[in-house]
Amino acid sequence: MTCKIDKICPRPAEFSLRFFKSDRLLAGRLIAQAIRLKPEAADWKWEIHLSDDPQVDAYCMAGGKLLVGSRFIASYHLSDEELAIVLGHEIGHAIAEHIREQATAVLLRNPKNLHRKLPDVLAKMDSDLSVYLALMPLSRAQEIEADQIGIRLAAMAGFRPATAISFYRKLARGEQAARPLFDTHGSSDLRRRVAAAIVADSNPVYHAAINTAALPSYPFR
């Protein structure tokens, strides 16, 4: 994989090293499991890029393009297992096709929208406060769904699902910093309660995964 962002954004060597030595492999393990849940995602050209933009935490665009922020990793001192929870969440958004759900909701909100092109609809989602507010209930439901998928993916890929509980507690302590990641991510209390249920459900999956001889990893090009 050629990482264009690498050329644009210089960053401390330690993060490049971690990214290329272990983080890409970690993401590949999650993606291999995501493909098990959504087989057509095997046809996506998955990519992962590192950015040192302080506004970037983690993001996965429709179609499997992941972006992760080195400053986000540093500011939260993310362990591998915590990063797996973060990336699992973002991959969850992608395989559940949440952007398409949101675009459909905008289209159906006003008959005039049915004649709009998709890029215009997506731009409206970003720029129109009334649309943003109307989508808020859907966004919050999607965040919970992404948490659930992410924790399950982490377990399937051999990362301890219970990490989600301590990690969300860590996020709650950072909420005052008002990072974009948290804007639509619902109350931390609710996240932790929902996470506890899916963690309990995912523990047997995790134990089966760690007893598997060789877990697959998506081969980034």
Contact footprint for Zn ion (CB under 5 A):
143, 146
Closest CB to Zn ion among residues 82, 143: 143
Closest CB to Zn ion among residues 73, 146: 146
Residue 66 CA to residue 68 CA, distance in Å, equals 7
Name the minimum Å distance from CB 204 to Zn ion. 26
Residue type, 39: P
Name the minimum Å distance from CB 131 to Zn ion. 18
Closest CB to Zn ion among residues 11, 179: 179
Name the minimum Å distance from CB 168 to Zn ion. 12
Name the minimum Å distance from CB 177 to Zn ion. 17
The closest of 66, 72, 84 to 161, measured between CA atoms, is 84
Closest CB to Zn ion among residues 47, 143: 143
CA–CA distance from 176 to each of 72, 180, 183 (Å)? 15, 11, 11
Closest CB to Zn ion among residues 199, 209: 199
Chain length of the chain: 221
Q: Are 84 and 28 in contact (CB under 8 A)?
A: no
Name the minimum Å distance from CB 158 to Zn ion. 22
Collapsing DSSP to helix, strand or coil, 61 comes out as: strand
Residue 48: strand pairing partners? 66
Q: What stretches of 19-79 show up as alpha helix (H) in DSSP?
A: 24-37, 70-75
Q: Are 179 and 173 in contact (CB under 8 A)?
A: no
Name the minimum Å distance from CB 199 to Zn ion. 18
Closest CB to Zn ion among residues 1, 141: 141
Residue 26 CA to residue 83 CA, distance in Å, equals 8
